[in-house]
Amino acid sequence: MLNHNNQEEYRDPINYDLEFGGETDKYDFFLQLAKKHPGHVLELACGTGLTTLYLAERGIRITGVDIVEPMLAYARIKAKELPVDFIEADARIFESNQRYSMIYLTGNAFQAFLSDEDQTALLRTIYKHLEPDGIFAFEMRNPDGTDLSDEEEESWGTFTDMDGATVKVSGTQTYDASKQLMHWVTFRDWGHRQTTSRIVCRFTDVQTLKQLLDKQGFILEHQYANWDQTSFQPSSPMVISVCKKV
């Protein structure tokens, strides 16, 4: 799943939060889903706990799991006295005696599982740790709604870092259709310095995803195009899936 290159995006957790935080519509989606399925919730690939802590602050009993220790270390600092556990583990082989009413991934984390074997191992872990009729939810980019063509460096936007500086973000993308793998290279320009990081994500088409979920014992209950629960269409850029353990 997370090879060396795939961890490069997660070396600077404070600025990661500043660049990618604040997605309250997404956090609210998982909060409302958790409230509908009361119990203990598990977030896999939780990173710095952006979503985990949002739910914990609102009374959800929750545990976060991630493989990248610096991200978890920052999550624990932010958690302060909140009753939330953060565990360093690989989601493919995570083991716990706890069973959860809901398990979810977000940030397109499902796409970090780069092979059939990785995806199967992830889903088996989730199935094993869900309570009967437990809910599994996650989102991913829809390949039929995404431009997968190779692109030279282009601007992707800006963010304000921990020191108040404006950071310019740009990048390239190269798609390996034979393996369904997108290779992104991201450049962040502070003016006085520049960083480069690489990440690889797998694009799974919706029909293949449905077959995979069915094979691993999940019923696909809903698919949405965005966090306000608009119905998914074949050309939607994103697909949010909510599944139940059979």
| 66 vs 175: CA distance, rounded Å | 26
| 33 vs 13: CA distance, rounded Å | 27
What is the pLDDT tens value at each position of the chain, 246 positions in all?
Answer: 444 446 788 889 999 999 999 999 999 999 999 999 999 999 999 999 999 999 999 999 999 999 999 999 999 999 999 999 999 999 999 999 999 999 999 999 999 999 999 999 999 999 999 999 999 999 999 999 999 999 999 999 999 999 999 999 999 999 999 999 999 999 999 999 999 999 999 999 999 999 999 999 999 999 999 999 999 999 999 999 999 998
| 85 vs 64: CA distance, rounded Å | 6
Distance of CA 170 to the CA centre of its chain: 21
| 159 vs 17: CA distance, rounded Å | 10
Residue among 2, 60, 71 at smallest CA distance from 27:
60
